[in-house]
Amino acid sequence: MYQIVTKRRLNDIVTLMEVAAPAVAAKAQPGQFIMFRLDELGERVPLTISGYDRDKGTIEIIFQHMGRSTKMLAQMEEGDYISDFVGPLGKPSNFEGMKKVCVVGGGVGCAIGYPAAKALHDMGVEVDMIAGFKNKDIVILEDEMRAACDNLYLTTDDGSYGEKGFVTDKLKSLLESGKGYDTVFAIGPVIMMKFVSAVTKPFGVHTVVSLNPIMIDGTGMCGGCRVTVGGETKFACVDGPEFDGHKVDFDELMKRNAFYKEQEQKAGEHICRLTGGVRVG
Amino acid sequence: MLANMSPKKNPMPEQDPLVRNKNFEEVSKGYTKEMAMDEAGRCLNCKAKPCVSGCPVNVRIPEFIHAVAEGDFDGAYEIITSTNRLPAICGRVCPQESQCEGKCVRGKNGEPVGIGRLERFVADWHMENGKEAVKAPVSNGHKVAIIGSGPSGLSCAGDLAKEGYDVTIFEAFHNAGGVLVYGIPEFRLPKAIVRREIENLKAMGVKVETNTIIGRTVSVDELFHQGFEAVYIGSGAGLPQFMHIPGESLLGVYSANEYLTRINLMKAYKDGYDTPIAKSKAVAVIGGGNVAMDAARCAKRMGAETVYIVYRRSEEELPARAEEVHHAKEEEIIFRLLNAPVEIHGDDKGRVCDMECVEMELGEPDASGRRRPIEKKGSNFKLDVDTVIVAIGTSPNPLIKSTTEGLEANKKGCIVADDAGATTREGVFAGGDAVTGAATVIMAMGAGKKAAESIKAYIASKQ
Ligand SMILES: Cc1cc2nc3c(=O)[nH]c(=O)nc-3n(C[C@H](O)[C@H](O)[C@H](O)COP(=O)(O)OP(=O)(O)OC[C@H]3O[C@@H](n4cnc5c(N)ncnc54)[C@H](O)[C@@H]3O)c2cc1C
Ligand SMILES: Cc1cc2nc3c(=O)[nH]c(=O)nc-3n(C[C@H](O)[C@H](O)[C@H](O)COP(=O)(O)OP(=O)(O)OC[C@H]3O[C@@H](n4cnc5c(N)ncnc54)[C@H](O)[C@@H]3O)c2cc1C
Ligand code: SF4
Ligand code: SF4
Ligand code: FES
């Protein structure tokens, strides 16, 4: 059992938690993820490690209340226990040789991009960050992000905060202004990563995306997380989750992620009405 | 006592095929006391004991059967478990026709003695009526780490714990049992049996650390730093192979591992569990082994109207246990033998809508000694299916090998180990599917047992 030691609501639909998992914390590196299972009836759900504290033995996760499992997790409180919490999974980010980087985050993806930005910044790499949100109300981690990079560019789709527009618009204008990034990290919804990769391609800027296919085990034994990268089949949980954005078949990934949509939607409605969420203490 | 000369085994009481193909309860109900004693009477107590040589762990077959015939079921249990820790499991899943029963002299003129059924009966009887409680032996203070909680890890752990070794099993999944819990379905091997075996090990003092991936959470080197004197790798062969034909990324194409894990480990078939799974109408399972049979029979039970087994060789070459093939046919699984998939087609949403196949014929024997299937040109046809399950084999996961200095693996990714289980790295032993590639429960158990002996000798040599 793994205890929730802190819980912080970042906005209406995003929650941060620190979970006591000393063995995972001892090994965690940026770019890796964990899988949790709430209780005996739960699914195994992957979440990126957004931070870790080796001394305290805790792992930080930031998640959007998407469907059944994440909604139920969001209803748990400090001191409660999660049945299973396994990791660190996936390959750590490879920051080798990077000198000037732009991290692009979309929505909750900012939470996942933020540790990468921080790690790079701490290494002395020049880091810009573009963080995009739908509107002002859901902006998260602004201070943390600002502290983790040289320039933070905040955008909202409706212009209610920061600059109006999509992250891709901002990225394009920065690239055009001759920023000369050697690498762009894009982390967020698949559609956003697809368009970021399309923007960087003509500039020939190496682009890393963090993929989020549906997973079961996270150890390479089911193949459910397979993605097509450069025409080859890769298992995102062991070969990734980070890949070269210019080689990923995003359309296929979007289709695959929608496979259980109807079933999940029903399950998601079901929890709110019937159990109010939490099944276990 | 006069032997029972009936040429046939006592039939196994079973659920009706058309009832059981809609539920996940166990197919076979097991012998009653009377059936078991009657079946035991068919054994001729042969001096040469050919049956024993057919069993990979040399269960003392005529002896235990003799005890059954006498009604001494406790005695029979003791005889079996002197060489086989998990008889309730082996009795159910061993491919007896190619092992013990395949060598039985009664099989020359009729059916062999139902050795597997008797083994199962004795184990089940003991589970219900056995008295002695499992006790933790006095610790000898020597720490051994076991990676993986499949049959090979469990048997290695059991043999060591029995003699007081301080054993910890590390398991990547949230439940222990390996293929016994994530692969083989409930209707063939009730999970309560596996859980009980694991509880027994715990009662003997074995610690089970789930959610721990060796190579990620902890490395083999770190295990040694933590004070483990020896490590046994029983991590299985869990990496699924795909066919690399067009259409394998379409929605509705599963590896058998994924499909079975969703159903067996994550209980997609049970109400209340959150695990989603395709609601299939027509399913094609590619392959002819136990894994394919299990996937097909699960699909049927999950509500599919039509389920095909698509296999490129003929009935004779089907690698599955004979009983599973027989059961699958009874359950209205349709066998498309000498057929091979060529391409999977999808609709505009990327969902599987049919699978194109080609007919095959058998040519000259290949390296495996089986006749090589050859494509019949122009014989292509389509199967209308919405789900395709790929069950063409698995190989060992490279994670441990790639994170452990000095541990060698062969071209297929199998860890190199000698007969006694010693690997190329001192203090590290390995066995089961991780060494042989996908094989059988009893082979994996046998390997775990042998390695336990080697580990004892190794630790003693270090004193
Ligand atoms: C390596 C990895 C890291 C991740 N890190 C984070 C993270 O740090 N924070 C976070 O909020 N989420 C993260 N995700 C995504 C998260 O795992 C999914 O959103 C998960 O499905 C939520 O589970 P649920 O039961 O709450 O929702 P579900 O009921 O499973 O899903 C709700 C809806 O989302 C769709 N969906 C299912 N899985 C995915 C997916 N993987 N991606 C996109 N849509 C999906 C479903 O079809 C459905 O419509 C990560 C995913 C991966 C693979
Ligand atoms: C669907 C199916 C049906 C089968 N039917 C039969 C049958 O009827 N009869 C028969 O004899 N055989 C059958 N087999 C084969 C048999 O189950 C295997 O040969 C046997 O289970 C191998 O045992 P093992 O202990 O070597 O490995 P496994 O049972 O595979 O166990 C390995 C365990 O190690 C864990 N692991 C892997 N990597 C790590 C790591 N890095 N860290 C921690 N843990 C790890 C895995 O999660 C797993 O739990 C079947 C197999 C399948 C898949
Ligand atoms: S362990 Fe398997 S092969 Fe050996 S006697 Fe029992 S059923 Fe037969
Ligand atoms: S070969 Fe058959 S008949 Fe002979 S001892 Fe073995 S089980 Fe009995
Ligand atoms: S999640 Fe199963 S192989 Fe990646």
B361 pLDDT tier (thresholds 50, 70, 90): very high
Could you give the angle at which helices B115-129 and B33-40 cross, rounded to 10 degrees?
A: 140
> Can you give the pLDDT at residue A273?
40
Task: Reply yes or no on whether the pLDDT at A269 is more than 70.
Answer: no
Cβ–Cβ under 8 Å, residues B383 and B284 = yes
Task: Reply yes or no on whether the pLDDT at B15 is more than 60.
Answer: yes
Q: Please identify among residues 148-187 of chain B the ones whose CB lies closer than 8 Å to any CB of chain A.
A: 172-174
Distance B88 CA to ligand 4 centre (A): 20
- Please tell me the pTM assigned to this model: 0.93
Q: Is the peptide bond before A88 cis (omega within 30 degrees of 0)?
A: yes
Task: Reply yes or no on whether the pLDDT at A265 is more than 90.
Answer: no
What is d(CA A160, CA A40) in angstroms, rounded to the nearest whole number?
43
Cβ–Cβ under 8 Å, residues B199 and B241 = no
Cβ–Cβ under 8 Å, residues B64 and B80 = yes
B61 pLDDT tier (thresholds 50, 70, 90): very high
What sign does the CA torsion over A49, A55, A58, A64 have? negative
Q: Where are the alpha helices (DSSP H) in A89-235?
A: 109-122, 142-147, 167-176, 190-200
**Which residues of A are less than 8 Å from B218 in CB distance?**
23, 27
**Which residues of A are less than 8 Å from B255 in CB distance?**
222-224
**Which residues of B are less than 8 Å from A84 in CB distance?**
174, 210-211
Each domain of chain A, given as residue ranges in start order, spans: 2-89, 100-257
What the block records as the tokens of A124 is 């002395």
B150 pLDDT tier (thresholds 50, 70, 90): very high
Task: Reply yes or no on whether the pLDDT at B417 is more than 70.
Answer: yes
Per-position b or e across B55-71, b if 16+ CB within 10 A of its CB: bbbbbbbbbbbbbbbee
Evaluate: CB of B68 within 6 angstroms of ligand 3.
Answer: no
Residue B109 burial (10 A CB sphere; 0-12, 13-18, 19+):
exposed
> Can you give the pLDDT at residue B168?
98
* Beta-sheet strands, E only, within B135-259: 143-147, 166-170, 207-209, 230-233, 239-240, 253-255
Q: What is the CATH number of domain A2-89?
A: 2.40.30.10
Class of domain A100-257: alpha beta
Range A21-40 average pLDDT: 94
What the block records as the tokens of B205 is 């003092």
Residue to substitute in A192, A212, A254, A269 for testing ligand 1 pocket (most ligand atoms within 8 angstroms of CB): A212
> Can you give the pLDDT at residue A67?
87
Write out the residues of chain A at the interface with chain B, using a CB-CB cutoff of 8 A.
Answer: 23-24, 27, 37, 41-44, 68-69, 83-89, 216-217, 219-224, 226, 228, 233, 238, 252, 255-256, 259-260, 263-264, 267
For A52, phi then psi, to 5°, come to -150, 155
Q: What is the pLDDT of residues A40-50, one digit of tens each?
A: 899 999 999 99
- Compare CB distances from B276 to A88, A219, A264 and report the shortest one's residue: A264
What is d(CA B190, CA A34) in angstroms, rounded to the nearest whole number?
30
A267 pLDDT tier (thresholds 50, 70, 90): low
Q: 3-state DSSP call for residue B160?
A: helix
Task: Reply yes or no on whether the pLDDT at A138 is more than 90.
Answer: no
Q: Ligand 2 atom closest to Cα of B151?
A: 25
Q: Name the residue in chain B with its Cα closest to that of A33.
A: B216
Q: What is the pLDDT of residues B162-195, one digit of tens each?
A: 999 999 999 999 999 999 999 999 999 999 999 9
Q: What is the pLDDT of residues B203-222, one digit of tens each?
A: 999 999 999 999 999 999 99
Q: 3-state DSSP call for residue B438?
A: coil
Task: Reply yes or no on whether the pLDDT at A156 is more than 80.
Answer: yes
Evaluate: CB of A79 within 6 angstroms of ligand 5.
Answer: no
Q: Is B217 an interface residue toward A (CB < 8 Å)? A: yes
Contacts of B356 (CB under 8 A, 6+ apart): B341, B342, B343, B344, B345, B380, B381, B382
The protein residue with its alpha carbon nearest to ligand 5, atom 2, reads: A222
A194 pLDDT tier (thresholds 50, 70, 90): very high
Interface pTM, i.e. ipTM: 0.91
Read off the DSSP letter of residue B107: G
Decide the pairing of beta strands A51-53 and A58-64.
antiparallel
Per-position b or e across A3-41, b if 16+ CB within 10 A of its CB: ebbebeebeebbbbbbbbbebbbebbebbbbbbbbbeeb
Q: What is the pLDDT of residues B109-131, one digit of tens each?
A: 999 999 999 999 999 999 999 87
Q: What is the pLDDT of residues B67-86, one digit of tens each?
A: 999 999 999 999 999 999 89
